[in-house]
Amino acid sequence: MGHASRINSRPERQTGHIVRDSAFGLAPDLLEPVVQLTNRIWTGSSVNPALLEMVRLRNARTVNCTICKATRYAQAKADGLDENKVGKVADGYLDSDLSVREKLALEFTDVYLKNPAGASPDLLARLRTEFSDAQIADMAVALTTFHAMSRCAVSLGGLPESLPVFEMSVPSI
Amino acid sequence: MAFTTANIGLALNASADVRTAYQAVWDGLWQQRHLPPALLELARLRLAALHQAPREAALRPALAESTGLDAAKIESTLSGNWYKDAAFSAGERAVLAYTEVYAQDPEAISDELAADVLANYGEPGLVCLTEALGFIDGRIRLALMFSHLGGAR
């Protein structure tokens, strides 16, 4: 059973921006650079949106953020991500028919989430067979941002037990 | 190369734009007006200890120099003895208790822990703290991960 929301207020000035108008908007000094970063991750990344979405959903699943798990970004769908592939982000993905590149991205995600000190030069060598250093950096920043925001949503409470899948666009700046 | 929250940007140099946006969040965290920087520095130290990240725990960043934390308070935070140290205020205790559970499992944060933070810092303070913990924890994770990945970049 999830916790009731710990935050009852919303920003006085509603802007039409889904994140700024949420509880996050109560702390705008920190939120503004986060909004800019999130936009940069999706619009300026050297990693394609479908793969970023797989990383995001693997994180959402691990953190158990119900709203993150239910969200599908339109940009990832337009890049070819479908529900069949989303289903393969589950445990056991290493035995799935996902590509080597996709499996490596999820393995990178799991190391970050479960044991970051367990990363090894072998993992980096394998990552470099599929990703440039810029792509590894972009994927790392995307992952750490997804993780921070999903944990924030869980911590502040008020999430439903489950939600149907819904599609939305990445919030603009 | 060994990374900490202070130099993790070096591991991200290959992607200048994203690195810059990520650094702006870190800088914003220490400049925001919702919580005193000293509170976030205590949280950073506690998270470093919980992640068993000795380089991070030894870090005394310039941004935190003005926080006024003394060596004894830092040691109590790192060792986990803060809860029995009379030098810690009610607000600092609320933040550290919330941080410790956050680090282990955000779903385990109780209403009482959240209420203690709310009582001391209000809703903006709780939102800011929770968001900040995510980026502090995440930056420590990235530093650990890239330290162990190795490789020149």
Cα-based distances in Å from B74 to A19, B53, B55, B81, B85: 35, 15, 14, 10, 11
Residue B139 lies in a domain: yes
Cβ–Cβ contact A24 with B under 8 A: yes
* Substitution target from B117, B133, B141, B144 for chain A, most A beta carbons within 10 A: B141
Cα-based distances in Å from A42 to A75, B50, B51: 8, 31, 29
Beta bridge partners of A71: A166
Residue B84 lies in a domain: yes
Range of the structural domain that residue B50 is part of: 8-149
Which residues does chain B have within 8 Å of residue A138's beta carbon, measured at their own beta carbons?
A: 15, 18
Cβ–Cβ contact A105 with B under 8 A: no
pLDDT at A26 over 80: yes
Report, as an integer, the average pLDDT of A46-55. Answer: 98
Which residues does chain B have within 8 Å of residue A26's beta carbon, measured at their own beta carbons?
A: 123-124, 127
Q: Residue B151 is encoded by which pair of tokens?
A: 């490789």
Report, as an integer, the average pLDDT of B122-150. Answer: 97
Residue B41 lies in a domain: yes
* Substitution target from A1, A6, A64 for chain B, most B beta carbons within 10 A: A6
Across the interface, of A27, A111, A144, the residue whose CB is closest to B138 is: A144
Contact B125/B34 with Cβ under 8 angstroms?
yes
Q: Indicate the CATH number for domain A27-168.
A: 1.20.1290.10
Q: Can you give the pLDDT at residue B57?
A: 97
A151 and B137 within 8 Å at the Cβ level: the answer is: yes
Residue B148 to chain A, least CA–CA distance (Å): 5
Q: Can you give the pLDDT at residue B64?
A: 59
Tell me: the pLDDT tens digits for A114-169? 999 999 999 999 999 999 999 999 999 999 999 999 999 999 999 999 999 999 99
Among A114, A116, A2, A5, smallest CA distance to A64 is for: A2
Distance CA B55, CA B80 (A): 17
Handedness of CA A121, A63, A55, A21 (dihedral sign): negative
> For A40, which residue in chain B has the nearest alpha carbon?
B18
Report, as an integer, the average pLDDT of B65-92. Answer: 92
pLDDT at A9 over 70: yes
Q: Can you give the pLDDT at residue A171?
A: 87
B109 and A31 within 8 Å at the Cβ level: the answer is: no
Cβ–Cβ contact B24 with A under 8 A: yes
How many residues are there in chain B? 153
Residue B48 lies in a domain: yes
Cβ–Cβ contact A8 with B under 8 A: yes
> How many degrees, rounded to 5, is the angle at CA B134 between CA B8 and CA B76?
85
Distance CA B130, CA B39 (A): 12
Q: Can you give the pLDDT at residue A1?
A: 53
> Contacts for A23-26 with beta carbons within 8 Å, 24 or more apart?
A23/A156, A23/B123, A23/B127, A24/A152, A24/B127, A24/B131, A26/B123, A26/B124, A26/B127
Residue B40 to chain A, least CA–CA distance (Å): 13
Residue B3 lies in a domain: no
Residue A79 to chain B, least CA–CA distance (Å): 21
Q: Can you give the pLDDT at residue B89?
A: 96
Tell me: the pLDDT tens digits for A96-117? 999 999 999 999 999 999 999 9
Q: Can you give the pLDDT at residue B61?
A: 80
- Where does the pLDDT of residue B6 fall: very low under 50, low under 70, confident under 90, or very high at 90 and above? very high
Tell me: the pLDDT tens digits for B27-37? 999 999 999 99
Residue B131 to chain A, least CA–CA distance (Å): 6
What is the complex's ipTM, to 2 decimals? 0.96
Residue B76 lies in a domain: yes
Among A2, A166, A158, A160, smallest CA distance to A66 is for: A160
Residue B123 lies in a domain: yes
* Total domain count, chain B: 1
Residue B1 lies in a domain: no
| Maximal CA-CA distance, chain B | 47
CATH number of the domain that residue B36 is part of:
1.20.1290.10
pLDDT at B152 over 70: no
Residue type at A52 in one-letter notation:
L
